[in-house]
Amino acid sequence: METDFFLRQKRTCYDSFYPFQILSKRRFRQIDFEPVTILYGGNGTGKSTALNIIAEKLGLTRDSAYNKSNFFPDYLKYCEVVTEGSIPKESRMIASDDVFDYMLNIRALNEGLDIRREELFKEYLDAKYASFRMESIADYEKLKKVNLARRKTQSKFVRAEMMDNIREYSNGESAFHYFAEKIGENALFLLDEPENSLSPERQQELVRFLEDSARFFGCQFVISTHSPFVLSIRNAKIYDLDADPVDVKRWTELENVRRYYEFFKTHEREFEQ
């Protein structure tokens, strides 16, 4: 089908025909989905491409734009997604860019709160020690602020005038909260490298969250990853996009995981000291 498409093309000025020739390079033609389906492989194997195709064919909600390329609509015409019933409206695609944008928004919010806090420190001092006399109803708001400053300490005055700063969350904690906020019940979720920005501890916490969501709350996941923690999700069906042809494997058979295993086995004695 791809060959026929290229033979019909009159456009010759493109260096790339992406997403053509990505998934077909290793004869990856079909995915049979389970409650948790994982696409594993190195950079350029098409993990994210496959997720974007599925998301676009199903019309899933997503926050961040992605590289559709000139040939993306043409490629979609050759792809088919078969579903059992309708896709729940709460279903969505979650890319790593979505998580990064969320963390950046929190950072920008906190920076704005820090500026406002400094302004309130000054307002507190001005109000507390002001020589103020109410002369008309127009001065009522200023009177309330003066009385508030005289009744409260500086910190309590500032807290009363602004929302709490949320910077107590680290980047990893913020990223985890994003997944917890976006992943609801009884829906389909496509996750593109969710391990980004998460420490090993947080990745394991995310794995438990995804396992529970699939087992108890009717969620279905399609995940692209090369994290050994995410790959270890119980009962996940894993497609190895590094294999030629693409094949289903156990997570302990994957090259990336084997390299971790061999590395730690080599240094096993150092952990025992």
Looking up tokens 């989905």 gives 33
Question: Given this model, what pLDDT does residue 266 score?
Answer: 95
DSSP secondary structure, 29-75, as one string: ------SEEEEE--TTSSHHHHHHHHHHHHT-B-SS-----TTHHHH
Q: What are phi and psi of 140, to 5 degrees?
A: -65, -45
- Which residues fall within 8 angstroms of residue 120, CB to CB, at 6 or more apart? 157, 158, 161, 162
User: pLDDT tens track of the chain, all 273 residues?
Assistant: 888 887 787 665 666 788 888 898 899 989 999 999 999 998 889 999 999 999 999 999 998 777 778 889 999 999 999 998 899 999 999 998 888 877 766 666 555 555 555 666 666 666 666 665 555 656 556 666 666 656 666 556 555 655 544 444 555 677 888 898 899 999 999 999 999 888 999 999 999 999 999 999 999 999 999 999 999 999 999 999 999 999 999 999 999 999 999 999 999 999 987
Q: What is the pLDDT of residues 103-160, one digit of tens each?
A: 766 666 555 555 555 666 666 666 666 665 555 656 556 666 666 656 666 556 555 6
CB atoms near residue 263 (< 10 Å): 10
pLDDT in tens, 251-270: 999 999 999 999 999 999 99
Q: 25 with 42: CB under 8 angstroms?
A: no
Rounded CA separation 142/151 (Å): 14
Q: What pLDDT, on a 0 to 100 scale, did the predictor assign at position 117?
A: 58
> C-alpha angle with apex 24: 99 to 49, nearest 5 degrees?
10
CA 189 to chain centre: 11
Rounded Cα distance between 146 and 125, Å, is: 10
